[in-house]
Structure 1
């Protein structure tokens, strides 16, 4: 059966159309600007035209789009949003209103309407249709979900979910969902969007998707250390016998070679504490157990060269499963999809 795998990041959305009759390395692939960058660009163009904006659609990843909202408000222009779109900015809608966003269901006259969402099926159908390709029924999507946290740090809530998955077994199926937890509002928004379009979905977080995808590279020797250097976040994990047994997550922009070396050393020898990462502005660290000796170190992600070239990671190899680093997360999604019978129980 064919599969559409979509890895939605802070900078890009990486798309793989897998078909059993096509060699994986020859599969149809696209690397496109991420949805949050697209929304940010539309808001910025409205700002240049001195137009108010009305955001409507599902909750999605923020980052660039939220920054564009703040620029728009600072310019003295108005931002209106439906409750679901406003939750992209902050789970606490009272805080969103305090920022200056007017929350309402109907668009005001004259405002530029901007549609939110982490995936756009009609656009993908049109893009693939240009090459006589149909979208498959099964879609696997990775988004970075911080979890619903109106009154707590979303860094805490996000890492609690990752920790729970490791404690539940740490295997890929512990990080993949047919029915996401109710607190994972971004995953739920994607699932609820896809259902009326007739698609069955598997949802994952982008970090674990990239880690398990990189483990499919022939250079990975178990047990090993895998690091994904994303545009927004860096996640490092120890994988042993198909399980993530230790992990930390930080913001890529907050890391330098010396700091990275220190955190990786603590992860590998089991001395890294959650507070070491969280107090530095990252998400956290959790160590269940570490093997005595690691046999491989792999780095993936669009920012990996910044750290590979620095010499901070001795002996590290650049991972490129299926010959393409940019679809590492998609390969992880494929691996989760291959176990869909477990998820469909």
Structure 2
């Protein structure tokens, strides 16, 4: 079987063409610019050309694209956007108008604006199947996936009076209290919770281009789940695994192969010393949601506060070097020999949990026929 696996971050989108007849190390891979970087480049091109800007499409990851839109506004240039596209920058459309000068328009108004010869039109979406298929086609491969799996980071659609950070942690806690396996953060297309609007936007984009079964998942749990495919990590059933992303840092503590607690913070607010401190408190079982939240992080989820010896810390993510040279016993996880593909292999493990008819084939291929148990 073939699964197109795409882990979408802020800096890169990491793409795996999983072929169950090959060893994982021989599956085809791409590490390409992230969708938000591509969109930012298109917006900045319009700014340089002094063009008015129309944004359509769906909600997607922000960061670089939002900064580019802000600079376009500061340059005194107009921006129009459909409501779905505008929510990329803020779920509150009034805040989008106020902060970025974006005029929200209907689909019909957007179609009329797109016909203007002077208009720069940028389509927003995290998952662009056509672009990925074209990339592989350049190497002579025609994609015909049996399934598609995509990971993005989703804050969720918090009500106006609720903190985005608190809303995110409430969601993480609710999922883990129901099912402590990290595949609890993965959903077949028809089962995405309504509050997870970025995951739903991926589903909407994918459904317009590909009919294969689709699974969507949160990025950090995917990376941590994938880290377990590294045999060194697997040999430490009480590992602490940290995914240090460009924007968000999550660390998961295990005890005898079972998840017991986590914390989530903003990477940009962390130094080596502060991150080390949080990790030490996580291992000790003394971490609390309130203290992480008070430090402008998202918070913590504690299912079990039993202390765990801090003798092994596996790290993934593009900013994992933040922990280099410190006092923690850090190990850079490289599942199947590739640090960049941790999220993709985690997505494959989630596919095995959610697509029962393919479970044995996926597990056999990823474990190379050894039948290794999963945490």
Answer yes or no: same fold by TM over 0.5.
Answer: yes
Per the alignment, residue 221 of structure 2 pairs with: 208
> Separation in 1 of the partners of 2:244 and 2:260?
19
Q: How does 1:32-111 map to 2 (within 5 A)?
A: 32-99=32-99, 100-104=101-105, 105=107, 106-107=109-110, 108=113, 109=116, 110-111=118-119
Aligned residue for 1:158, secondary structure, equals: helix
- TM-superposed deviation, 1:120: 0.7
> Separation in 2 of the partners of 1:190 and 1:330?
16
> Separation in 1 of the partners of 2:25 and 2:320?
21
Check if 1:157 corresponds to 2:167: yes
> Separation in 1 of the partners of 2:292 and 2:357?
32
Aligned residue for 2:355, secondary structure, equals: helix
Aligned pair count reads 342
Q: Deviations over 1:4-62 (max 9, x none)?
A: 11111111111111101121111111111111111111111111111111000011111
> Separation in 2 of the partners of 1:290 and 1:278?
18
Aligned residue for 2:61, secondary structure, equals: coil
Per the alignment, residue 31 of structure 1 pairs with: 31
RMSD: 1.7
Check if 1:331 corresponds to 2:339: no
> Separation in 2 of the partners of 1:23 and 1:277?
41
| 8 Å CA contact retained: 2:241, 2:314 | yes
| 8 Å CA contact retained: 1:172, 1:243 | no
> Separation in 2 of the partners of 1:84 and 1:312?
45
Indicate how the Cα distance of structure 1 residues 47 and 3 shifts in structure 2: closer, same or farther if over 3 A, else same.
Answer: same
TM-score (norm 2): 0.87
Check if 1:14 corresponds to 2:29: no
| 8 Å CA contact retained: 1:215, 1:226 | no
Q: How does 1:233-272 map to 2 (within 5 A)?
A: 233-240=248-255, 242-272=257-287
| 8 Å CA contact retained: 1:225, 1:297 | yes
> Separation in 2 of the partners of 1:95 and 1:180?
26
- TM-superposed deviation, 1:92: 1.1
Per the alignment, residue 232 of structure 2 pairs with: 219
Indicate how the Cα distance of structure 1 residues 145 and 177 shifts in structure 2: closer, same or farther if over 3 A, else same.
Answer: same
Indicate how the Cα distance of structure 1 residues 150 and 75 shifts in structure 2: closer, same or farther if over 3 A, else same.
Answer: farther
> Separation in 2 of the partners of 1:176 and 1:122?
23
Indicate how the Cα distance of structure 1 residues 31 and 130 shifts in structure 2: closer, same or farther if over 3 A, else same.
Answer: same
| 8 Å CA contact retained: 1:176, 1:204 | yes
Indicate how the Cα distance of structure 1 residues 24 and 242 shifts in structure 2: closer, same or farther if over 3 A, else same.
Answer: same
Check if 1:146 corresponds to 2:146: no
| 8 Å CA contact retained: 1:229, 1:301 | yes
More divergent stretch after superposition (60-69 vs 236-245): 236-245
> Separation in 2 of the partners of 1:256 and 1:264?
12
Consecutive unaligned residues of structure 2, counting only runs of 5 or more, are: 359-375
Indicate how the Cα distance of structure 1 residues 184 and 241 shifts in structure 2: closer, same or farther if over 3 A, else same.
Answer: farther
| 8 Å CA contact retained: 1:223, 1:291 | no
Aligned to 2:314, which of 280, 298, 304? 298
| 8 Å CA contact retained: 2:227, 2:335 | yes
| 8 Å CA contact retained: 2:7, 2:344 | yes
- TM-superposed deviation, 1:280: 1.7
- TM-superposed deviation, 1:290: 4.1
TM-score (norm 1): 0.95
Aligned residue for 1:77, secondary structure, equals: coil
> Separation in 2 of the partners of 1:190 and 1:199?
14
Q: Deviations over 1:118-175 (max 9, x none)?
A: 0111111111112232331311111000001251322222221111121112103311
| 8 Å CA contact retained: 1:92, 1:150 | no
> Separation in 2 of the partners of 1:150 and 1:82?
21
> Separation in 1 of the partners of 2:70 and 2:14?
27
Aligned residue for 1:216, secondary structure, equals: coil
